[in-house]
Chain A
């Protein structure tokens, strides 16, 4: 089994599980399929020798963000009749819009496809290893790294403030 075959199988599995995220009626099933999609994307990162991002993707996305989604879903205690219904016209127009976006992007990148076809890499890229990324992150990108911590504090304060129980009603 060649490396190319593995990546083709991985890619088709990724697209299939991403489709199931949109198609499945129950939100909890959507979350599970999204976790599976993230694991496939992590496998692709490993295939491309981006080891640090593969681990971060698994821990942060599949481990933290998706568990947050699941917590909120379980907390809201939704039942069958609360699922909002969709009208047929909206679905058709959304399919047309999304399909057009797909076709336009594919056509715009046609030249890239031709360029990338015969490309062979000389050596295994070492850009994605932890050592190289750490050196970059703590020298050139140190200021954005520190600013992202301020972003996290702002997000945390905002989340606590928004989700705090209050007595006002919108109606």
Chain B
């Protein structure tokens, strides 16, 4: 019971995993050109934030952060739906899922 507490590893390990997931998602958003993979990387970043919220909720024994995670999941579902329908519309018009296609929208 010295180093090991009831949430498995110590707090710092979960924070490390969450930061790593967020950074991987950010790198994915910056590197990939495929619109679907880009949306998936955004989901990955949202999940990193969820993991951090649940970690601190468990750490302090307070359930309110988990309600916020629930609302984040709700908003993520709505966001994925709208993003995918915009993607389908863009694909239908230009036959491409390259994110640079949106450069046509200027002026």
**Which residues of B lie under 8 Å from residue A95 when comparing CB positions?**
27, 31
Q: Please report B residues at the A interface, Cβ cutoff 8 Å.
A: 1-17, 19-28, 30-34, 36-37, 39-41, 43-44, 47, 50-51, 54-55, 57-59, 61-64, 66-67, 69-71, 73-82, 84-89, 91-94, 96-100, 104
Contact across chains for B97 and A84 when beta carbons are under 8 A apart: yes
Contact across chains for A49 and B58 when beta carbons are under 8 A apart: yes
Q: Which of A14, A56, A116, A168 contacts B73 (CB 8 A)?
A: A56
Q: Could you list some 5 contacts between A and B, CB below 8 A?
A: A11-B14, A14-B17, A45-B54, A61-B43, A117-B10
**Which residues of A lie under 8 Å from residue B62 when comparing CB positions?**
127
Contact across chains for A50 and B57 when beta carbons are under 8 A apart: yes
B11 to chain A, nearest CB (A): 3
Contact across chains for A133 and B30 when beta carbons are under 8 A apart: no
Contact across chains for A128 and B66 when beta carbons are under 8 A apart: yes
Tell me the nearest residue of chain B to A45, going by C-beta: B54
B61 to chain A, nearest CB (A): 4
Contact across chains for B58 and A22 when beta carbons are under 8 A apart: no
User: Size range of the interface on A?
Assistant: 35 or more
**Which residues of A lie under 8 Å from residue B44 when comparing CB positions?**
18, 21, 34, 37
A72 to chain B, nearest CB (A): 5
Contact across chains for A30 and B19 when beta carbons are under 8 A apart: no
Contact across chains for B89 and A162 when beta carbons are under 8 A apart: yes
Q: How far is the CA of A44 from the CA of B3 in the complex (A)?
A: 19
Q: How far is the CA of A128 from the CA of B6 in the complex (A)?
A: 14
Known: A47-B8, A117-B10, A121-B59. 17 other contacts (CB 8 A): A18-B24, A22-B28, A27-B34, A34-B40, A34-B43, A34-B44, A37-B44, A72-B36, A84-B34, A84-B98, A85-B33, A97-B26, A101-B23, A102-B23, A163-B88, A168-B93, A170-B104
Contact across chains for A21 and B41 when beta carbons are under 8 A apart: yes
B8 to chain A, nearest CB (A): 3
Contact across chains for B67 and A113 when beta carbons are under 8 A apart: no
B25 to chain A, nearest CB (A): 8
> 3 nearest interchain CB pairs?
A116-B11, A94-B30, A7-B8
**Which residues of B lie under 8 Å from residue A98 when comparing CB positions?**
23-24, 26-27, 30
